[in-house]
Structure 1
Amino acid sequence: MNEVLQKISRIGIVPVIKIENADQAVPLGKALCEGGLPCAEVTFRTKAAAEAIRRISKELPQMLVGAGTVLTTAQVDEAVEAGARFIVSPGLNPKVVRYCVERGIPITPGCANPSDVEQAIDLGLEAVKFFPAEAAGGLAMIKAMSAPYGNIKFMPTGGINAKNLNEYLAFPKILACGGSWMVNETLLKEERYDEIARLTREAVHTMLDFKIKHVGVNAKDTEDAMKTASLFGGMLQQPVLPNPRSVFAGDLVEVMSGCGRGTHGHIAISCNDVSRAVAYLESKGIEFNYDSLEYDQKGKMKLIYCKEEIGGFAVHLADKDD
């Protein structure tokens, strides 16, 4: 998949923003980054759109900024010249899509039916926008429509909010979700950037849903691990579950059989999507040990350790369903 689309997938949520005043672009971008979403689709529905993209691209190079509501090839040129790294359109205009494809510009056109999707595939696209998502049938429509098209990904936009976000993102053919609930026009007009940052953090935390999965304890050997796990199991009324490398006391404590990471042990943190969690935490300066990365049978990240210990504990992310 295209590198830009991969980054969008790892971010998970694309804030869709309408800017009337280009002076608001950089403060808004900073609020989105602070909240954990270094990405934005700036809609070409205002005269300030190109200048807003230009300022964000220059002042916040860490942001992945694109142009939305692009209707013509002239707007494509204007957006790319301003610094847009991807193009989004409300519908599938073959002329615009072909223009982008020929120039290597990532584009996700709006598709709401199988005929649109087939055109997109014929034009060589890997992902499309599903718009307007809720009005066009929501996730049920995407699931029904995507069945014959195994390799195409969807970016639903329109009616997505904190309540239905994870329902969409749980479906493997969803690339990411577009939404504007954390950047509504009233907040932007009133320049309430702290509130935008708070709503953005809330959206990210909803998407990732970090929780302590279990605590790991290091034991000197298999016999010691069984003894320790049995003590925890009896105390917490949990079954003792041996496996080749460790012994679990239910799903609360894992006692490692002489092969544990961390000075004192490890802490496992579950999340809805390890890849998106890594992208978010790396944007906050956390480094990961990619030698520890594990995938499930479908090629999805299921486990990875942080590079540094925290308080003497190795820390790893784990898929909540693993």
Structure 2
Amino acid sequence: MNKVLEDIQKIGIVPVVVLDDAADAVPLAKALIEGGLPLAEVTFRTAAAEESIQKMTEAFPDMLVGAGTVLTIENVKKAVAAGAKFIVSPGFNPTVVKYCVENNIPITPGASNPSDIERALEFGLEVVKFFPAEASGGLNMIKSLAAPYTTVKFMPTGGIGAHNINDYLAFDKILACGGSWMVKGELVKAKDFAKITELTKEAVMTMLGFELGHLGINCNDEKEASDTASSFSSLFGFENKEGTSSVFAGTAIEAMKSPYLGAKGHIAIKTNSLNRAVNYLETQGVEFDQSTGKYKNDKLVAIYMKKEIGGFAIHLLQK
């Protein structure tokens, strides 16, 4: 898959931005980055789009800025010249797609039926935009389309918000979801960028769904681990479950049979999407110990952060 599309997948949410005034471009980009989404699809529905993309990319070169609602080759040329790293179109225009493919410009065209998808495959595309998502049948329709087209991933946009984004992202054929609920037009016009940052953070936290998984207690040996777990189980009615390296009391307490990572033990934090959580936390300055990564069916399911917190090693755990 194209690296730009891989980066979009790691982020998970594509803010769809409509700007009437290019002066709002930089503060809006800053608000999205501070909220945890260094990504924007600037729609070419307004005269300010081209200048807005240019201002965003100049101010924040590492931000992933693309152009949406691209309908013509001329739009593509203007967007790319302004610094757009990817192109998104609402429908499937073979002329635009052909131009982008021939010029190695990542494009995600709209496709909401089998014929559109087959045309996308003819051009060697791996990702299509499903638009308008909810009005076109939503997740059930995407699952139906994904069944015969097993190599295709989807970027649904339209009717997606905090109430249903995790339903979509839970399906492994979804690359990312586009939405505008964190960048509402009235907030941009009011220049309430603090509120946009707040809504962006809420969107990211909703997507990642962090929650406490379990507490790991470092014990000196197997007997101490068994006794520790049994103490919790007898007091609180938990059930002991013995493993190779630890004994669990219920699901929240893990007694290690020998000292493991962390001066005091470890804390597991569960997340809806481990890869996206790692990507997000890395943008916040967190480093991960890649040697601790655990995989299941080639998918990362657990990994430790390098630094301890309060004497505890922290590891993320895929829900």
Q: Distance in 2 between the 1:84 and 1:263 partners? A: 47
Residues 1:113 and 2:147 aligned together: no
TM-score by length of 2: 0.98
Unaligned 5+ runs, structure 2 = none
- Secondary structure of 1:111's counterpart equals coil
**Structure 1 residue 203, shift from structure 2 partner:** 0.7
Residue 91 of structure 2 aligns with an amino acid whose one-letter code is: G
**Structure 1 residue 259, shift from structure 2 partner:** 4.6
The equivalent residue for 2:316 is 317
Residue 146 of structure 1 aligns with an amino acid whose one-letter code is: A
- Identity, % of aligned pairs? 57
Runs of 4+ residues deviating >4 angstroms? none
**Contact 1:245 1:259 (C-alpha < 8 Å) held by counterparts:** no
**Structure 1 residue 175, shift from structure 2 partner:** 0.3
**Structure 1 residue 36, shift from structure 2 partner:** 0.8
Residue 85 of structure 1 aligns with an amino acid whose one-letter code is: K
Q: How many residues align?
A: 319
The equivalent residue for 2:133 is 133
**Structure 1 residue 300, shift from structure 2 partner:** 2.3
The equivalent residue for 1:175 is 175
Identify the range of structure 1 (201-210 vs 254-263) with the bigger mean alpha-carbon deviation. 254-263
CA-based RMSD: 0.9
**Structure 1 residue 62, shift from structure 2 partner:** 2.8
Residues 1:305 and 2:316 aligned together: no
**Contact 1:247 1:254 (C-alpha < 8 Å) held by counterparts:** yes
**Structure 1 residue 220, shift from structure 2 partner:** 1.2
The equivalent residue for 1:104 is 104
Q: Distance in 2 between the 1:8 and 1:192 partners? A: 26
**Structure 1 residue 73, shift from structure 2 partner:** 1.3
The equivalent residue for 2:142 is 142
- Closer/same/farther in 2, CA of residues 61 and 235 from structure 1, 3 Å limit: farther
The equivalent residue for 2:18 is 18
Q: Distance in 2 between the 1:222 and 1:108 partners? A: 55
Q: Distance in 1 between the 2:306 and 2:83 partners? A: 33
**Structure 1 residue 304, shift from structure 2 partner:** 0.9
Residue 60 of structure 1 aligns with an amino acid whose one-letter code is: F
Q: Distance in 2 between the 1:292 and 1:84 partners? A: 37
Q: Distance in 1 between the 2:62 and 2:233 partners? A: 47
- Secondary structure of 1:7's counterpart equals helix
Q: Distance in 2 between the 1:74 and 1:101 partners? A: 15
TM-score by length of 1: 0.97
Map residues 45-194 of structure 1 onto 2, 5 A cutoff: 45-194=45-194
Q: Distance in 2 between the 1:81 and 1:307 partners? A: 40
The equivalent residue for 2:247 is 247
Map residues 189-208 of structure 1 onto 2, 5 A cutoff: 189-208=189-208
Residue 107 of structure 1 aligns with an amino acid whose one-letter code is: I
**Structure 1 residue 74, shift from structure 2 partner:** 1.5
Q: Distance in 2 between the 1:281 and 1:95 partners? A: 40
The equivalent residue for 1:220 is 220
Deviations 1:94-132 (A, max 9, x none): 111111112211110000100000110111001000000
- Secondary structure of 2:91's counterpart equals coil
**Structure 1 residue 293, shift from structure 2 partner:** 1.4
Unaligned 5+ runs, structure 1 = none
